[in-house]
Amino acid sequence: MNPGIDWVDPEASPALGARDFEQIRQLAYGAFGLDLKSGKEELVSARLRRLLRKGGFRTFQDYYRHVLADQTGAALAAMIDALATNHTAFLREPDHFTFLRDAVLPALSKRDPVELWCAACSTGEEVWTLAMLLNEACPQRRIAIEASDISNKALKAAQAAEYTLDRCQGIPPAWFSRYFVAGKGAAKTYTVAPRLRAQASFRRLNLVENFSWNRLFPVIFCRNVMIYFDRQTQERVVAKVSSMLEPGGYLFVGHAESLTRIAHSLDYVRPAVYRKPQKKEGLWSRS
């Protein structure tokens, strides 16, 4: 219970006023670039109501002031977890994986390890899809996937790598038998095999803040997150992510995230695939 606030009926539903929505909208935009446009009031109310009840807050104003006053950052992190959208699936937008396998990986034939960054990895389905594909395409080489997301809740699920059978729909049967282990509990779940899980590292990362890696990547997947940003934020994020690409490296974005309307330094390759210019082949083999 939040100190100094009276007990609240757990069935009560505090109303989200226009002022409340605007304050939360501005906070979400400043904290992690989420562009909550008019019309999202019910979504915000529904997703934050559990946090209000859990903390014993009578109004959204009480909750908003608490988030601002919390010096630990835990309240803001919980708000981000509640508002962040974590919809994903194995082999989502499959033509990207086909292009990666057929056009990109052959040009990385001399790389060992093969390193990728999966930004905005959500609950991990994209990470493990990449891991399976890389193990199939590069069976004799080491695989190193860096994965990141802003949501602690999503990262925890991604690291656990445990999924119900319905979440595994679409995975080729041969992959499923090779790379998943059946759970032992009453609930029918399947966990990514330990050898694949050892190939991925996870990190909480906010794409709108300053960040860096200790390496450049030949391939970065940053899909279906920029649709939640406005144009200005999209440009900043693409510039930051592109700076982590090595010359000649590929950036994959979601099919709903064409970069044609924003300024960037990348070359268009095919829908939702871009490449960083290079003056010479360098570490890339000619394909």
Question: Which pLDDT tens digit goes with each residue over 254-283?
Answer: 998 889 889 999 999 999 999 999 876 556
If you average pLDDT over residues 106-117, what whole number do you get? 95
pLDDT of residue 4 exceeding 80: no
pLDDT of residue 286 exceeding 60: no
* Per-residue model confidence (pLDDT) at position 282: 58
pLDDT of residue 155 exceeding 60: yes
232 by Cβ neighbours in 10 Å (0-12 / 13-18 / 19+) ranks as: exposed
pLDDT single digits (tens) 190-204: 999 999 999 999 999
pLDDT of residue 9 exceeding 60: no
Q: What is the pTM of this model?
A: 0.85
Instruction: Name the residue with higher pLDDT: 253 or 86.
Output: 253
**Residue 55 — very low, low, confident or very high, per pLDDT cuts 50/70/90?**
very high
Strand positions, DSSP E, the chain: 114-119, 143-149, 162-164, 180-182, 189-192, 200-204, 217-222, 245-252, 267-270, 273-275
**Residue 2 — very low, low, confident or very high, per pLDDT cuts 50/70/90?**
very low
Per DSSP bridges, beta strands 273-275 and 267-270 are antiparallel
* Per-residue model confidence (pLDDT) at position 8: 37
**Residue 13 — very low, low, confident or very high, per pLDDT cuts 50/70/90?**
low
Q: How far is it, in rounded angstroms, from Cα 266 to Cα 151? A: 28
pLDDT single digits (tens) 18-51: 999 999 999 998 888 888 888 899 999 999 999 9
Please give the backbone phi and psi of residue 121, each rounded to the nearest 5 degrees, phi first.
Answer: -75, -10
pLDDT > 90 in the chain, percent: 75
Q: How far is it, in rounded angstroms, from Cα 224 to Cα 120? A: 8
- If you average pLDDT over every residue of the chain, what do you get? 90
Instruction: Name the residue with higher pLDDT: 153 or 2.
Output: 153
- Contact between 109 and 134 (Cβ < 8 Å): no
Annotated catalytic residue 203: no
* Per-residue model confidence (pLDDT) at position 81: 84
Strand partners, 163: 190
For every residue of 148-202, DSSP letters joined together read: EES-HHHHHHHHHTEEEGGGGTTS-HHHHHHHEEE--SSS-EEEE-HHHHTTEEE
pLDDT of residue 147 exceeding 70: yes
Among candidate residues 20, 49, 149, 223, the one labeled active-site is 149
If you average pLDDT over residues 137-142, what whole number do you get? 94
pLDDT single digits (tens) 202-226: 999 999 999 999 999 999 999 999 9
Map out the domains of the chain with their CATH numbers. 18-83 (1.10.155.10), 94-275 (3.40.50.150)
Annotated catalytic residue 149: yes
Which of these, 98, 95, 109, 133, lies nearest to 281 by C-alpha position?
109
* Per-residue model confidence (pLDDT) at position 77: 86
Among candidate residues 47, 53, 101, 111, the one labeled active-site is 47
* Per-residue model confidence (pLDDT) at position 111: 93
* Per-residue model confidence (pLDDT) at position 280: 61
Radius of gyration of the chain from its Cα atoms, rounded to whole angstroms: 21
* Per-residue model confidence (pLDDT) at position 119: 96
